[in-house]
Amino acid sequence: MERRMCMRKLASFVVVALMFAMSAVSARVDTETGAAPAENAQVTIKNFEFTPKQLTVTVGTTVEWVNEGGRHTVVADKGEFKSDVLANGGKFSFKFDKPGTYAYHCGFHGAAGGKDMAGKIIVKK
């Protein structure tokens, strides 16, 4: 009987400890956007599109675009960043240090304003 009581107390302690740990992790998630803080994020370039088309990150995150086919570029609509031509397997990275919305497009297959092959990075505090 005493052993069962001890096991129940231990189980209760473990449950409380797990709940505490989970609340600490969920406190790091931006409640407005659901975006978890990150230092790195990735956008895939494939089939003439950026995936995800829209990505929400926190200030300080480095986004890496990885080309999985064709020749493409990553060009910010307002000139904040611009890649060289990316062949298949090519990569381009940019660190977002300021909050804001950064629209971008492929210089070959898209245009500013979200036309055709385009995407958007939303940077939150």
For the question of whether the overall pTM of this predicted structure is more than 0.75, the answer is: no
**28 pLDDT above the threshold of 60:** no
Q: So what's the pLDDT on residue 115?
A: 96
As a whole-number percent, the residues of the chain with pLDDT over 90 amount to: 69
Q: What are the CA-CA distances from residue 51 to residues 4, 26, 43, 98, 121 (Å)? A: 53, 25, 5, 22, 11
Provide the pLDDT for residue 22: 39
Q: Does residue 43 have a pLDDT over 50? A: yes
Task: Count the neighbouring beta carbons within 10 Å of the beta carbon of residue 81.
Answer: 18
Calculate mean pLDDT across residues 89-112: 98
3-state DSSP helix/strand/coil % of the chain, to nearest 5: 20, 45, 35
Q: Which CATH number fits domain 40-124: 3.30.950.10, 3.30.70.20, 2.60.40.420, 2.40.160.40?
A: 2.60.40.420
Between residues 17 and 46, the one the model is more confident about: 46
- How high is the pLDDT of residue 8? 58
The band of 2, judged by pLDDT with boundaries at 50, 70 and 90, is low
Distance, CA of 50 to CA of 32 (rounded, Å) = 24
The H-or-E segment that residue 24 falls in is: helix 2-26
Average pLDDT, the chain: 82
* Residue 37: per-residue pLDDT: 55
State yes or no: pLDDT of 99 exceeds 60.
Answer: yes
